Amino acid sequence: MTDKDPFDFDFFSERDFGDENDHLSASLPSLFPPFPSAWIAPQQDEKWDRRFLELARHISSWSKDPSTKVGAVIVDIDRIVVGMGYNGFPRGVRDDPDRYNDRETKYSLVVHAELNAVLAAGIQARGSTIYVYPSFGIPPLCTNCAKAVIQAGITRVVGYEPAVNSAVAERWRSEIETARLMCDEAGLRMTSHAEFA
Ligand SMILES: [Zn+2]
């Protein structure tokens, strides 16, 4: 199995398009191979999943919430990032520490990372994958974010296997269960990877 970077030019020039890609190479000049979505080996999915999960982890650090920092990245079928988000108050709304430190005020003002990413991606979210860090469950979505993700046309949700303390897990349990029910019925693929492989 190849472990080459599909964006590496050498990978394109060395690639043999002779077998399963016959139908593609027949109509395309060899200098212009099809986009990754057309031919990428499934084995490479996990490598890219981990890259985008690490990006979501990085983006989570931008949140000003002192207790919960979540990051989300939306990626289209050609692995182009079309939206990013972290949990925070709406643009222009004063995000003072005193508001974050009062749980009730924070909950009423905050926009979740996933919803921010969906809003940023707009129409480009159709057919895309959303990566969320950290995971409180599978899928790593609350009910409202699951609704937004489904309605935006996102088809796959990826997170690490949940690794949260039991109090946090309990707080999110019913939210995650409902989100899972909706994602199941709506036909979204849910993928989780061990965080430390
Ligand atoms: Zn949410």
Per-residue pLDDT of 82-97, as tens digits, reads 999 999 999 999 999 9
Structure tokens at 121: 């991606």
Whole-number mean pLDDT of the chain? 84
Q: Over 60: is that where the pLDDT of 48 sits?
A: yes
Q: Which of 46, 114, 177, 195 is catalytic?
A: 114
Position with higher pLDDT, 175 vs 3: 175
**Dist CA 186 CA 38 (whole Å):** 24
pLDDT of residue 44: 56
110 CA distance to ligand 1 middle (Å): 10
Instruction: Name the residues around ion ligand 1, CB cutoff 5 A.
Output: 112, 142, 145
114 is catalytic: yes
Nearest residue to 158 via CA among 54, 59, 6:
54
Assessment of whether the complete model's pTM goes beyond 0.85: no
128 CA distance to ligand 1 middle (Å): 18
Spatial contact of 114 and 145, defined as CB atoms under 8 Å apart: yes
Q: Over 50: is that where the pLDDT of 41 sits?
A: no
pLDDT of residue 140: 95
Q: What is the mean pLDDT of residues 185-193?
A: 95
Per-residue pLDDT of 137-179, as tens digits, reads 999 999 999 999 999 999 999 999 987 788 888 888 999 999 9
CB atoms within 10 A of CB 123: 8
Q: Over 50: is that where the pLDDT of 181 sits?
A: yes
